[in-house]
Amino acid sequence: MVTTVLLAVFVAVVLAAVVYRHILPLLRNPSHITRYGAVFKSHLFGAPTVVSCDEELNHFVLQNEERLFQCSYPGPIRGILGGSSLLVVTGERHRRIRGMALAFVASTGLRPAYLADVDRAARAVVASWRGRCAAAFCDEAKQFAFGTIVEQVVGLSPEAPLIRRLLEHYSTFMKGLVSLPLNIPGTPYARAVEARRKISLTLEEIMDERWKGDDGSFRKSAFIDGLIANSELSHDDKVTFVLDSLLAGYETTSVLLSMLVYFVGQSPQCLEQLKVEHENIRSSKATDEFLTAEDYRKMEYTQRIYLLK
């Protein structure tokens, strides 16, 4: 009993220290830029940090990466992402893995199969809203983005039961990335570490099935098949690379789509112009005919919207 009480007191003291030192400095002064300027010192993710809100300095840092500055993340984030993550590794290894990622994006491009997959997935999401009183668009966008990425990277259909399980693990994983770095059972950080382990195990199973020759549940994927055949990367590197590929588009794509829908909804004139452009393109196609690269190029106003021009 005494041991339990002492342990509880110790945990409370640790939590208080973390909050006092790492969180309160940011919460006490919400207008840091006004008080301290565009560049100031603080603590983020439990580590001393220089925060820059200066556009010129940020540009200088990004232009001199791997020369004057080295990309890195605080230790707690590395603990979740894993030591082989593209977001963590540096130097020549980082350049090699990044080159593979860029090659995948370039190979996907606007190929007909990719556009058809995205079109099909988008139609399925919209069709699922029929008969519903309301839908949380951001959650729907996350499922849409995740399903599309998994289909392209791993070769699994968005309707596969495994997708929903992976998405649940990913939701837990993402919450832990911005939580207090306390690896204690039950905390968001500890749950994120466990979710990352489960995702890795699932991806290992998928890659093993592809290596052995699947039973028809997977579709052909040049990305995953090429990755498995790569002899330069270890097995853990390959699993982490797939994990990074899913992570790269999951949160960013869904948030961007949600923001676009929100702001377009605030402008009836903008929404009407978008409807006219898309209805003109759709009227020239058959009901079950998917969008093509040529259709995409005709979306001049749409491109101005998502590029915020």
List of the chain residues with pLDDT < 70: 1-32, 45-46, 104-112, 158, 211-222, 308-309
- Closest by CA to 232, choosing from 106, 83, 81, 93, is 93
Domains in the chain: ranges and CATH: 91-264 (1.10.630.10), 267-309 (no CATH)
- Helices within the chain (DSSP H only): 2-18, 24-28, 32-36, 55-63, 75-81, 91-108, 112-127, 137-153, 161-177, 188-212, 222-229, 235-265, 268-283, 293-298, 300-306
Beta strand 47-52 with 39-44: parallel, antiparallel or unpaired?
antiparallel
Give the model's pLDDT for residue 168. Answer: 83
Alpha-carbon span 91 to 4, nearest angstrom: 47
User: What residue has token string 């020549």?
Assistant: 92
In tens, the pLDDT along 164-214 reads: 787 788 888 888 877 777 888 889 889 988 988 888 888 777 777 776 665
- What is the pTM (predicted TM-score) of this model? 0.66
Question: Which pair of structure tokens corresponds to residue 73?
Answer: 């993340």
